[in-house]
């Protein structure tokens, strides 16, 4: 499993801002996260899991319902021009995971799975995402 760091950004006007996670790393395609891929995002203790669904889904509605029951959400991987591939997540799912604006997260990744966690102790940035 590989490791790097990632900040939680702020989006919106100061009084109405919300946390945003933008994952834009060159290794995303090597881990299966290609444009148009479906990703299930689930809150976990002090973090989130991004699970790739690269197989055919027979019943999207069942996956959506199961995801919502776990207070997660479904997102797709996007292209972001010349900079490559982007996964962006904002809103309630981040806060449900106990994360907030300006948190520095530890990212663990392998094929089909990305986990982001708030460290228990302060860490120095290993590699900061876009």
Give the domain ranges of the chain: 2-117
pLDDT, tens digit, 9 for 90 and up, residues 32-76:
999 989 999 999 988 999 999 877 777 888 899 999 999 999 999
CA pair distance 78, 94, nearest whole angstrom: 19
Helix-then-strand count for the chain, H and E? 2, 10
The domain defined by 2-117 folds into Chemotaxis protein chec (3.40.1550)
pLDDT, tens digit, 9 for 90 and up, residues 82-102:
667 889 998 788 888 888 888
């Amino acid at each position: 499993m590989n490791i790097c760091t990632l900040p939680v950004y702020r989006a919106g006007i100061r009084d109405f801002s919300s946390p945003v996670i933008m994952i834009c790393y060159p290794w995303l395609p090597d881990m299966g996260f290609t444009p148009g891929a479906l990703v299930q995002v689930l809150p976990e203790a002090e973090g989130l899991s991004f699970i790739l669904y690269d197989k055919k889904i027979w019943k999207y509605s069942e996956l959506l319902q199961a995801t919502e029951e776990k207070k997660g959400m479904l997102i797709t991987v996007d292209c972001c021009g010349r900079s490559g591939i982007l996964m962006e997540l904002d809103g309630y799912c981040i806060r449900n995971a106990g994360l907030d604006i300006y948190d520095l997260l530890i990212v663990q990744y392998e094929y089909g799975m990305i986990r982001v966690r708030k460290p228990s102790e302060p860490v120095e940035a290993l590699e900061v995402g876009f």
